[in-house]
Amino acid sequence: MMWSALHVLLAPVLVHLFLFAPRALKAQDFEPRQYANAPIGVSFLAAGPAFTRLGFPLDPAVPLTDPKLNTYGAVLGYARVIRIGGQSAKLSVIAPYMWLDGQALFNGEPVSRQVSGLTDTKVRLAANLFGAPALGLKEFMDYKQGLVIGASLTVTCPTGQYDRERLVNLGAHRWSFKGELGASQAVGKWILELSATAEVFTDNTDFFIGRTREQDPVYAGKGHVIRNFPKGMWASVDVTYYTGGATTIDDVFRNDLQQNWRTGATFSTPVSKHHAFRFNWSAGVYARTGNNFDMVALTWQYRWGAGL
């Protein structure tokens, strides 16, 4: 009986904590319930497929037009809830494998690409600053969310497949650092969330046969309206806007400023004490750079530790 009650309490705040499949989409990702509280010591293993079509989500600023590129991803990652300064925090790592094929236009000429391999590894630390105290499993039984404020840093490491003679690659051959500040407010069975991010990039000094490619920071704002349902299920409607990211190649500025809108939806459900599934869909609404790709992802999650 105790586990049944604990399961209902934990499920809506645990099942979302490992949202790696959409994160392959960089600045335009969706991450509902990112700063929700969870018991200290819980670990997560997640895996699942992700599919995108008619775009290049790994790097929308690559100098291509009319992209008809499809990607198929297999995502594997790990996350753990830890304590930082009396509040809960989450440390996570992901290294997706991806298959890509399709064609696009480069300077008006058609180019095609078919490739598979690892994409860039991401390491993320998300720390709650207010409203999500560090609690053990038993203490967490009495926790009720109010206002939660958190911040995170995601580091993308250049570990993915890269060919200096091709424009389309699974790795970016550079580092990036994304900071985020977010707030989550529970109102009955609803949760309202807002967050803002800024991502900066190091230069790619071996871009397309030895050129140097620089990119301006990308700024994004995200919003989520989340509804909790019985037995730990929840669903959300998601929206994001991102701008910036104009590039310079060998000191020649390109007019490729991003000003893009995306919308999507997420549904999550536990299936047992340790297992859960999450479905995520998103699509482009408007893209100045013409990169209105669609994305579908399914994530299986296994959780353990902290007495579960």
Computed over every residue of the chain, the mean pLDDT equals: 88
Q: How confident is the model at residue 3 (pLDDT cuts 50, 70, 90)?
A: very low
**pTM value > 0.85:** yes
How far from 301 is each of 47, 79, 85, 226, 278, CA to CA, in Å? 7, 10, 27, 20, 8
- 35/56 Cα distance (integer angstroms): 28
* pLDDT, position 194: 97
Note the pLDDT tens digit of each residue in 173-201.
Answer: 999 999 999 999 999 999 999 999 999 99
User: What percentage of the chain has pLDDT greater than the value 90?
Assistant: 66
* pLDDT, position 14: 52
By the 8 A CB rule, do 286 and 303 touch?
A: no
Note the pLDDT tens digit of each residue in 46-65.
Answer: 999 999 987 777 787 787 77
Mean pLDDT of 112-117: 92
Segment 264-268 long-range contacts (CB within 8 Å, at least 24 positions apart): 264/30, 264/237, 264/238, 264/239, 264/295, 265/235, 265/236, 265/237, 265/238, 266/16, 266/30, 266/32, 266/235, 266/236, 266/238, 267/233, 267/234, 267/235, 268/12, 268/15, 268/16, 268/233, 268/234, 268/235
Residue 22, SS3 per DSSP: helix
| Domains observed in the chain | 2-304 (2.40.160.40)
Neighbouring C-beta atoms of residue 231, cutoff 10 Å:
11
* pLDDT, position 104: 85
Q: How confident is the model at residue 293 (pLDDT cuts 50, 70, 90)?
A: confident
Note the pLDDT tens digit of each residue in 74-107.
Answer: 988 999 999 999 999 999 999 889 999 998 888 7
Mean pLDDT of 65-71: 85
* pLDDT, position 13: 55
Note the pLDDT tens digit of each residue in 5-14.
Answer: 555 555 555 5
Lowest-confidence range among 98-107, 135-144, 204-213, 222-231?
98-107
293 or 300, which is more confident: 300
What the block records as the tokens of 170 is 């699974």
* pLDDT, position 7: 55
Is pLDDT of 1 > 50? no
* pLDDT, position 289: 66
